Amino acid sequence: GPLKPEITITYIAVSAIFFNSGLSLKTEELTSALMHVKLHLFVQIFTLVFFPTAIWLFLQLLSITPINEWLLKGLQTVGCMPPPVSSAVILTKAVGGNEAAAIFNSAFGSFLGIVITPLLLLLFLGSSSSVPFTSIFSQLFMTVVVPLIIGQIVRRYIKDWLERKKLPFGTISSCVLLMIIYTTFCDTFANPNIDLDKFSLIIIVFIIFSIQMSFMFLTFLFSTRNNSGFTPADTVAIVFCSTHKSLTLGIPMLKIVFAGYEHLSLISIPLLIYHPAQILLGSLLVPTIKSWMVSRQK
């Protein structure tokens, strides 16, 4: 359509989010985040190993129910997705958590996802197709890494001006994200052949919220144990980065792996629901997590 999402979203919007992050992030925080290996390992193992495996086990139980099988396959694809390139960072920033760690894990997880997500999809769903790793990798590099570096370089020159002006970086990122979600919904529901019953859809929405709540609670419990070695700010980054899944990377990746597949639109639906749900749930929990973090830091 006139919005041209294949250009405006795929390149401009994602680049804008990361340029925004690069501009607003203090460089010294990013370097200190690099050394926090334990946190990065926790997030990546939870997201790319524990999450898809747990979903697969859960789906073995659901397979005997009358829920649409393609929606269930879609739930499995959600489990295989890498961390998001934006929403986890925006929510971590809103709470005042370890934003640098959230950015590092989003970027690093996205790169891991280029290789690991297609392999996980093949492992759990048995989809066989040749995935053009080089083109996805180069696109990610251009839309994630390059804008982040440019943002950091620009920040060095206008640092004082930025600190005086206090620009609404969070609001800008949220608006861009809203545009990404809107165009993806338009794209999926433009397909007239969606064979979807209301019962399956309502159950899937309920399951998605339940999964998110359970996994957020689980990561919170693990990262606040006495011997975990994580600060309250780290816990905030862990809770959001470990449980959030990327729509911006996920939809293009599904289109590549399931190219020409007649049930692609149905498989995409759980991811389309999961993404707005994680933002909605995260936004509702921001005040609670913020007050918890402040009281713990005191």
The DSSP string of the chain is -TT-HHHIIIIIIHHHHHHHHHHHS-HHHHHHHHT-HHHHHHHHHIIIIIHHHHHHHHHHHHTTSSS-HHHHHHHHHHHHPPPPSSHHHHHHHHHT--HHHHHHHHHHHHHHHHHHHHHHHHHHH-------HHHHHHHHIIIIIHHHHHHHHHHHHHHHHHHHH---HHHHHHHHHHHHHHHHHHHHHT-TT----HHHHHHHHHHHHHHHHHHHHHHHHHHTSTTS---HHHHHHHHHHHH---HHHHHHHHHHHTTT-TTHHHHHHHHHHHHHHHHHHHHHHHHHHHHHHHHHH-
Mean pLDDT by 10 residues, the chain (298 residues): 75 79 70 81 93 94 86 91 82 87 83 80 68 66 82 86 79 75 69 74 93 94 86 91 84 70 79 88 90 85
Listed by start position, the domains of the chain span: 5-292
**pLDDT score of 122:** 79
Question: Rounded distance, CA 74 to CA 225, Å?
Answer: 33
**pLDDT score of 260:** 62
Long-range contacts of 284-287 (CB under 8 A, 24+ apart): 285/216, 286/91, 286/94, 286/95
**pLDDT score of 87:** 81
Q: Cα-atom radius of gyration of the chain, to the nearest Å? A: 19
**pLDDT score of 46:** 94
**pLDDT score of 283:** 87
**pLDDT score of 279:** 87
**pLDDT score of 128:** 46
What's this model's pTM, rounded to 2 decimal places?
0.75
**pLDDT score of 202:** 92
Question: Rounded distance, CA 71 to CA 68, Å?
Answer: 5
> Residue 192, Cβ neighbours under 10 Å: how many?
6
**pLDDT score of 30:** 64
CATH number of this structure's domain 5-292: 1.20.1530.20
Determine contact, residues 47/83, Cβ cutoff 8 Å: yes
